[in-house]
């Protein structure tokens, strides 16, 4: 697929496909490619990992999942990979990233996002996660989200309409 067409396809994926019976054909017509090309390119983007998820993107806030916390864990370095894999596979965990510690005040090296309908549900979920992953003795903190100032798609280059 030509670079321009590919860039425009990425724009469609970011904004959302049209809700019509043949969405790939509709996009193909707009970007000057074939339906098969569009399908193959989305498959390729997913396989290579450039796209982490392709599907129905739900708005958790609108569905009543109004509470979430960034939960940070202080995991011994030699088991942080294993703990990360276990936590990543658990229900309720939407993101699971290793990040560097920052001194005595910030000893946490594993960051997870946990969602729920209210703070109690988030807290119960964290408790259950710690139990099921063998992390009850591990120091952790819950940083509840108080306010969302900004949430937009990342800008990696020149903006396109």
Partner 1 sequence: MMDDLDRRLLDEFQRGFPLDPRPYAAIAGRLGCTEGEVLERLSRLKAEGAVARVGATFRPHRVGSSTLAAMAVPEERLEGVAALVDGFEEVNHNYQRAHRLNLWFVVTAPARERVEGVMAAISRATGLEVQEFPLVRAHRLDLGFPLWN
143 binds partner 1 (CB under 8 A): yes
Site size for partner 1 (CB under 8 A): 72
Q: Do 73 and 112 meet the contact criterion of CB atoms below 8 Å apart? A: yes
Token pair for 154: 């990342």
- Our CB check for partner 1 shows the closer of 137 and 154 to be 154
Residue 136, interface with partner 1 (CB under 8 A)?
A: no
Is residue 124 a contact point for partner 1 (CB under 8 A)? no
Q: How far apart are CA 17 and CA 50, in angstroms?
A: 18
Q: Are strands 110-116 and 67-73 parallel, antiparallel or unpaired?
A: antiparallel
Tell me the per-residue interface mask from 24 to 63 with partner 1, x by CB under 8 A, - otherwise. Answer: xx---------x---x--xx-x---xxxxxxxxxxxx-xx
- The yes or no reply on residue 76 touching partner 1 (CB under 8 A) is no
**Cβ count within 10 A of residue 84:** 20
Our finding on whether 160 is near partner 1 (CB under 8 A) is: no
Q: Which of 29, 94, 134, 136 binds partner 1 (CB under 8 A)?
A: 94
123 Cβ contact list (under 8 Å, min separation 6): 142
Question: According to the binding rule CB under 8 A, does residue 161 interact with partner 1?
Answer: no
Among 3, 76, 78, 100, binds partner 1 (CB under 8 A): 100
16 contacts partner 1 (rule: CB under 8 A): yes
Separation of alpha carbons 132 and 75, rounded Å: 15
CA distance 26 to 72: 43
């Amino acid at each position: 697929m030509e670079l321009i067409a590919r860039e425009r396809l990425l724009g469609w994926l970011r904004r959302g496909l049209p809700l019509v019976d043949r969405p790939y054909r509709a996009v193909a017509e707009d970007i000057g490619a074939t339906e098969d090309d569009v399908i193959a390119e989305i498959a390729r983007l997913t396989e290579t990992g450039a796209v982490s998820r392709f599907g129905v993107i739900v708005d958790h806030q609108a569905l009543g999942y109004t509470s979430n916390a960034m939960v940070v864990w202080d995991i011994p370095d030699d088991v942080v990979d294993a703990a990360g894999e276990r936590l990543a596979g658990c229900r309720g965990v939407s993101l699971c990233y290793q990040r560097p510690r920052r001194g005595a005040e910030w000893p946490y090296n594993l960051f997870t996002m946990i969602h729920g309908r209210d703070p109690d549900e988030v807290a119960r979920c964290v408790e259950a996660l710690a139990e099921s992953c063998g992390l009850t003795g591990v120091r952790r903190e819950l940083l509840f989200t108080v306010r969302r100032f900004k949430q937009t798609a990342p800008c990696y280059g020149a903006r396109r309409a």
